[in-house]
C-alpha cells in the first residue's frame, strides 16, 4: 500500500481513538457516511449547467474540495476497517473495467458494457 495512504489511515485511527469514536465507525456506518458525503459533493452541482460546473469560483472549489476530502476520509476509514488496500482494489478494478470496456467497443460511447 502507498505510504501516504497508510499514514493518513493511521492519522484517522488516532483521530477517532482520541474522541472515542471507534464505537460508531462500523463498516455499515462508514459506508452510509461515505454515501452522504458523496451526495454533499453532488449538491454543489445540483442546479448548474455542464458549462457552469467547469467554472467554479475559488470559494466554491474550496467547498467542493472539503466535501471531496470527507468522501476520501470515510472511504479510507472503511477500507481500513475491512482491511482492504484501496490502491490494490482500484488497480484490480481498472483491469476488470478494461476487459468489460475494450477500447474498440467503448470508445466514444456511454453505454454500459452489457449493451456494447
Give yes or no for residue 1 having a pLDDT over 90.
no
Q: How far is Cα 19 from Cα 27, in angstroms, rounded to an integer?
A: 18
How is residue 101 annotated by DSSP? S
Judgement on whether residues 102 and 77 belong to the same structural domain of the protein: no
Judgement on whether residues 57 and 97 belong to the same structural domain of the protein: no
Cell of 101: 470496456
CA quadruple 34, 37, 43, 49: dihedral sign: negative
User: In this structure, what CATH number is given to the domain that contains residue 69?
Assistant: 1.10.287.1080
Judgement on whether residues 43 and 18 belong to the same structural domain of the protein: yes
Judgement on whether residues 89 and 68 belong to the same structural domain of the protein: no
Judgement on whether residues 17 and 56 belong to the same structural domain of the protein: yes
Q: Are 38 and 71 in contact (CB under 8 A)?
A: yes
Domain range spanning residue 95? Answer: 85-116
Judgement on whether residues 76 and 92 belong to the same structural domain of the protein: no
The pLDDT score that the predictor gives to residue 67 is: 98
The pLDDT confidence band at residue 101, using thresholds 50, 70 and 90, is very high
CA distances from 2 to 15, 27, 58, 90 (A): 20, 22, 30, 12
Judgement on whether residues 92 and 35 belong to the same structural domain of the protein: no
pLDDT for 25-83, tens place per residue? 999 999 999 999 999 999 999 999 999 999 999 999 999 999 999 999 999 999 999 99
pTM over 0.85: yes
Judgement on whether residues 8 and 52 belong to the same structural domain of the protein: yes
Amino acid at each position: 500500500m502507498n505510504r501516504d495512504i497508510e499514514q493518513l489511515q493511521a492519522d484517522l485511527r488516532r483521530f477517532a481513538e482520541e474522541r472515542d469514536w471507534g464505537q460508531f465507525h462500523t463498516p455499515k456506518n462508514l459506508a452510509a457516511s461515505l454515501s452522504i458525503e458523496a451526495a454533499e459533493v453532488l449538491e454543489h452541482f445540483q442546479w448548474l449547467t455542464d458549462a457552469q460546473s467547469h467554472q467554479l469560483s475559488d470559494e466554491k472549489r474550496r467547498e467542493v474540495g472539503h466535501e471531496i476530502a470527507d468522501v476520501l476520509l470515510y472511504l479510507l476509514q472503511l477500507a481500513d476497517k475491512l482491511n482492504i488496500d484501496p490502491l490494490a482494489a482500484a488497480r484490480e478494478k481498472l483491469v476488470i473495467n478494461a476487459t468489460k470496456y475494450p477500447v474498440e467497443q467503448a470508445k466514444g460511447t456511454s453505454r454500459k458494457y452489457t449493451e456494447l
